Structures are given as C-alpha cells and as structure tokens.
Amino acid sequence: MSPGRIGPVTPALLLAHGAGGTVRANFSPLIPRLSRKRRVHAVDFPGSGTTPRATGPLDLDDLADRLVAAAESEERFAVVGYSMGCAVAVRVARRHPERVTALVLTAGFAHLDDESRERVRQWRRLLDADRAELARFMLSVALGEPFRRRLTAEQTAGFLELIALTIPPGTPDHVDLVQRIDLRDELPTLSVPTLVIGAKHDRLIAPDATRAPADLIPGARWAELDSGHSPAVEAPAEWARLIEEFLDSLPVRG
C-alpha cells in the first residue's frame, strides 16, 4: 500500500495486561476478533499465568522488553494496554519508537490521583488478609455499579469464588509497581497515534485520572466505554470495536 492509504495499520498487535491479571483474564473475549486481521502477541508478566514471580521490584522497562520479545518476529506492531498495561505500552513506544505504529490505552492513568491511590493501597493491604474479604473488595471496584446491580445472587457468589481462586501470586508486585507509576513527563513526548479509552463506571481508577493521558499525549483521541474497570467482562464487543475502528482508520506508513 502507498503512504496515506487507509487500511490495517499493522499486521501485528501486542497486548499488555493489567495488575493482578493475565492475558487470558484481561483479553480472552477480544482475541478471536482482533486476530482476524492481525497477528496477536502477548505475555503474562512475572507472577501471572505460568511466568515465575520476580525476585525483586518490577520495572516498566523490563516488562516492556518482555512484551516486545513476544513479538520478536514482527518488524512493527500496535500495542493495546489495559490498566497497568497502559504504562507498559507507553514504555514500549518510548523504547522502540521505530516499531510502534499505534497505542490503545484502556482504563489507565498517567499517575494515581489521591482517590485512586487510596483504593490501590487498600487493595495492597487486603492482599495480605482474608481471601474472601479481598474478593469482596475486588468485586466492588472491578465491576461497574450498573453491571453489578444486574447480577443475580448466584452470579455474584460465582464472581467472588472466581476472584478468590485466581489471584496471581505476583499481584503484590504488580500493585507495588502501580503505586510507583508516573508518566506525566513521558506522555507529552509521544508522537505515535493514540486512542485513550475510559470506563464510565470505573470504581478503581478515577475518571479524571483515566482521562489525563488523552490530555497529555499530543493528538490523542478519546473514547469511553459504558463499563467499569473490567471491560473484558462488561463490554468486550464494544471494546474490540473501538480498538479495531481506531487501528483501521490510521493511514498506512511506508
């Protein structure tokens, strides 16, 4: 294709999951649809899935390089980040600007505002407490209120059981990293096409914090999902549509 022609911007897509998540937990409903046009690559960060837990504090540069290594055969790629994974996606673009064609940042933040920081601190404290109490807290912040109100008692009990049983061992390390993230100086230096997606009913990351990357990244687009902090559960089809339409709208380079 010639420069400026509209079409799929890249044959490859990298997925960066969130804190306390895995590729499967955060993206599995989207992968079949996203894979129709693009080769999709992802990696579970240390302490998630089958990846061993780190022996020291997590580092964004290391996570970014792990993600890029998963797509070693790809010359160029777009990156979709979710929650903590947004910071990883940004760092990929900073470390590999010649390879990144676009960013999609969902339910992320430039840094934690006071309201979000207190909820994340509570999450971290509860990781050392009773799993049932942790599950109740996570359910309260992970799902939007409209979605939670529609759940039956049986469905709520099922979610609580699933959360308690599937907390990755590296979650404390992930949450510690979340509390250290500050991208306010990095975001204005990005020159890659970016879509920032907020979650209208997010109860973990405050709406203003999620909107901040769109305000800081030059030329970034903004969209919002009618969901809480778990769009893969609450609005997977709409989330996938926003990603695809954004990537398809970009002119092909080269």
Q: Which segments of the chain are extended strands (E)?
A: 12-16, 39-42, 77-82, 100-106, 194-199, 221-225
Higher pLDDT, 60 or 4: 60
C-alpha distances out from residue 96 to 38, 76, 217, 221, Å: 19, 9, 17, 21
Q: What is the pLDDT of residues 180-236, one digit of tens each?
A: 999 999 999 999 999 999 999 999 999 999 999 999 999 999 999 999 999 999 999
In terms of C-beta density within 10 A (0-12 exposed, 13-18 middle, 19 or more buried), how is residue 10 classed?
A: buried
What is the per-residue pLDDT for 146?
A: 97
**Is there a contact between 139 and 166 (Cβ–Cβ < 8 Å)?**
no
Per-residue pLDDT reduced to its tens digit, 116-160: 999 999 999 999 989 999 999 999 999 999 999 999 999 999 999
DSSP letters along 24-52, please? HHHHTTTHHHHTTTSEEEE-PPTTSTTSP
Residue 106 has pLDDT above 90, yes or no: yes
Whole-number pLDDT of residue 253: 60
Q: Domains of the chain by range and CATH?
A: 12-115+168-249 (3.40.50.1820)
Pairwise CA distance, residues 99 & 43, whole Å: 18
pLDDT grade for 4, boundaries at 50, 70 and 90: very low
**What is the Cα–Cα distance from 119 to 68, expressed in whole angstroms?**
31
Please report the pLDDT score of residue 78 as a whole number: 97
Tokens of residue 186, six digits: 């990095």
Report the percent of the chain where pLDDT is more than 90.
92
pLDDT on residue 6: 41
Rounded Cα–Cα distance for residues 227 and 222 (Å)? 15
129 vs 63: CA distance, rounded Å: 27
Q: How far apart are the first and last CA of the chain?
A: 8
Question: What's the pTM?
Answer: 0.93
List pLDDT tens digits, range 186-201.
Answer: 999 999 999 999 999 9
pLDDT at residue 250 tops 70: yes
Q: Is residue 2 predicted with pLDDT exceeding 80?
A: no
Strand runs labelled E in 28-159 = 39-42, 77-82, 100-106
Residue 145: CB atoms within 10 A of its CB come to: 11
Answer for the pair 187, 213: CB distance below 8 angstroms, yes or no.
yes
Per-residue model confidence as pLDDT tens digits over 35-54 = 999 999 999 999 999 999 99
Please choose, from the candidates 249, 226, 217, 235, the residue with its C-alpha nearest in 3D space to the C-alpha of residue 105: 217
Do 38 and 243 contact (CB within 8 A), yes or no?
no
